[in-house]
Structure formats: structure tokens, C-alpha cells
Structure 1
Amino acid sequence: MSLAAIYEVRTLRTDAEREEAAALVQDRQRWLTMRGLPVPAKADIPALFRDLQTHPAGLFEDGKLLACMIPRWDPDLGWGEGPCLFLGYFHTLPDQPDDITRLITLWASDFAARLDLPLVRSEISAHHALEAEPIAALLRRLTDIGWDVRGSGPGREGARVARLELTAEHRPGLSALIGCRVHEPQPAPDDRANA
């Protein structure tokens, strides 16, 4: 008898799950604003998590949503060479430990490798220089768990972002910790013309 994984990353299946993800995003944006931290520029990110066509995914522990994101296959972001798994709009519950980000990092690296993609890329809002606090502290934590900072510049939405890259790596034993039931990522609608 196999034991169920402690965590699960899965495509959000129901309206209720997508609504819960939208609420998590709103809570996180409010938390960032109250601390004077950069908030992603896109006006209605919560609506993206309500949209069935975006195939949002979430990290769950015992049915509780801890984080959400929109994983996409991207043929070329414009700032990194070659195809990748792009984690868009990644949000965690406010006041959660870095362990959630570490779990997503492990999962994303393994998931990209299983999709035969060499890299995972993501972007975080960076309205100030990357060396300035509090963004510098966040970037240090991300590099400590395996992400590489690839500079800053305009992101997918046009706002200034820190560009992040992670090498894909098969992690055979990871499924005992993190189950995965995510749809195979599709290109974003605006990427399909370029694919």
C-alpha cells in the first residue's frame, strides 16, 4: 500500500478552488502593499486565477491551498534563450515560511525535466534596484534554494521585474513528498502565434 504524498501540486479543478486562489492572490497583494513591497503591475491578476483557460495550479497540504501559480510552456520569453517552463503569477499565503517556495522550486525543477524542458523561469516585481532592500533579501533567499538571478528589465507585462531561472532536474523520490496532477502547460494565448 503506497502512502499519499504530504503535498500536492495540481491544476485547479473547480470554481471554488479557482476562487480560493483568487482570494489568496488578493490577500498576498494586500500583504505586500502594507509592507511597501512591489506588487505585480497587472491590474487584475485574481481574474486570471478564476479563468479556466489559464489552467492555474496550486500547492495543497491536506486540502489547504498554500500557493498558486500559472505554469506555461514558453518557447522564448525574450530575455532567456530557448524554451522553458514559465511560472507566472506565483503567490503564497501571506506570512508563510520559505518552505513553500522551496517545495515549489523542487516541484518545478522536476516537472520541467519530465516535460523535457531545460529550465524553469519566473519573474518577480522589482521597482527598485535589485541590490536595494527588501528585494535583495528576497533574491538572496531564492538563490539559496537554487534560483539564478538573470538581471532585471521589462517582464511579460512590461513592468520592471527581476528575472529568475532554475535548471530542470529529475528528482525521482520527490513524488513521495509532492504529488503532481498538473495539466501539461500550454503556451500563453499570445505565444501561440509564435509557437
Structure 2
Amino acid sequence: MRTLRTDAERAEAAALVQDRQRWLTLRGLPVPAQADVPALFRDPQTNPAGLFEDGKLLACMIPARDPGLSWGEGPCLRLGRVHTLPDQPEDITRLITLWASDLAARQNLPLVRAEVLARHALQAEPIAALLRRLTDMGWDIRGSGPGREGDRGARLELTAERRNGLSALIGCRVHAPEMAPDDRGGT
């Protein structure tokens, strides 16, 4: 996992986001309605990060240190705009979960928070299946409501935990996340 530093890396992340959004749309799944998400990844001010394996970008996101969301109290590491390359194994989400929990602990933040688009009830498929997988990975569901961009989302929290030996699975070269501006990076 590393901060995307070059225009080429950020453009690759924007293309991954577009591929993911197209994949979701073809399956009738929700995509963000309000924001030009690919443009956020092209913008160096957002400090996007990417998960690479053998030089291939498998996932991208915008990690930010956040003093709290409207639905959560206290500081956290917020994972915004998490996108994985379509048709990749669930292991990528598990690696991101482990990495985020460890990064938050190393930043002395108690929690990781994220939002997942959920236009319908959380018990309805296909969001219910995704939420079951995430809770199996350690995420807690904190209800649903309007996200940072106005889209309805499931609210997730993960306890920060140092994970000794994680570097054998995933390296971390991400800049310490900064405070997020209010208009960027929700999921």
C-alpha cells in the first residue's frame, strides 16, 4: 500500500474507479450519484493510496485522519472511496482491513470508519451479503443514513489494532493521513 505520487499512478487509479463503476452499473448495483470520483483520484491534494501487487494496482482509496463524521464520535482513520479492481478475490478486502486497522493504531487513532453505498435496507441483497463479509472481517455496522455526498450508506467501524508481522503480507508506504477537508473523500 502506498501513496499515489505521480500523475500516472493517479490516472491509473482513476481508470480503476471507472472500471469498477462500470462493473457495478452493469450489475445494477449503486454508484455514487453526486461526485466525480475518478477526478478525486487524479487530484494530488486528496493524497490517494493504492494497493499494488507485482506493479499492478488492485485497489485504491483516500485515507484521511478525520475528527469524526456526523454519525461517529471521536477521531478516526476514515477510508474514503475504496475501490477494488473488478473480479478480484475477497483477500484484497481482507488485506485492506488488516492494513487500515494497523495504520490507525500506529497513528494513535482508536477506529477506522468507512461508508458503503446502500440505497435500500441493509438486510436486502446484495448489500446484505457484502455487509456479512465485512462483519466477518471485523467491521461493525453502525446503521445507515446519508453519507458525506448525500448518498445513503451503511456506516462501518473497525477497531484499530497493531498487527505485528503484517509487513510480511502488505507493506505500507502511505503518508500519515492528514485531516480531511469536509468536501472530499466520503465513500
The TM-score bracket by the shorter chain reads over 0.9
Q: Which residue of 2 aligns with 1:5?
A: none
Q: Are the equivalent residues in 2 in contact too, given 1:120–1:165 (CA < 8 A)?
A: yes
How many residue pairs get aligned? The number is 183
User: Does 1:62 find its partner at 2:54?
Assistant: yes
Deviation digits for residues 4-55 of structure 1, max 9, x if unmatched?
A: xxxxx00001111000000000000000010011112233100000000000
In the alignment, structure 2 segments of 5+ residues that lack a partner are: none
Q: Which residue of 2 aligns with 1:111?
A: 103
Shift, 1:177, TM fit: 1.4
Q: Which residue of 2 aligns with 1:172?
A: 164
Shift, 1:97, TM fit: 1.0
RMSD across aligned positions (CA): 0.9
SS at match of 2:123: coil
Cα distance in 2, alignment partners of residues 41 and 188 from structure 1: 21
Cα distance in 2, alignment partners of residues 43 and 109 from structure 1: 27
Counterpart residue identity of residue 141, structure 2? V
Cα distance in 2, alignment partners of residues 39 and 190 from structure 1: 20
Deviates more, 1:144-153 or 1:182-191: 182-191
Q: Which residue of 2 aligns with 1:45?
A: 37
**Structure of larger gyration radius:** 1
1:104-183 alignment, distance < 5 Å: 104-183=96-175
User: Does 1:81 find its partner at 2:48?
Assistant: no
Counterpart residue identity of residue 117, structure 1? L
Shift, 1:64, TM fit: 0.6
When the two structures are superposed, what TM-score results if normalisation uses the length of structure 2? Answer: 0.96
In the alignment, structure 1 segments of 5+ residues that lack a partner are: 1-8
Deviation digits for residues 120-147 of structure 1, max 9, x if unmatched?
A: 0000111000000000000001111111
Q: Are the equivalent residues in 2 in contact too, given 1:112–1:169 (CA < 8 A)?
A: yes
Q: Which residue of 2 aligns with 1:4?
A: none
The alignment-based identity, stated in percent, is 83
Counterpart residue identity of residue 110, structure 2? P
* Equivalent in 4, 20, 38 of residue 12 of structure 1: 4
Q: Which runs of 4+ in 1 moved over 4 A?
A: none
Q: Are the equivalent residues in 1 in contact too, given 2:35–2:149 (CA < 8 A)?
A: no
Q: Are the equivalent residues in 2 in contact too, given 1:154–1:160 (CA < 8 A)?
A: yes
Q: Which residue of 1 aligns with 2:83?
A: 91
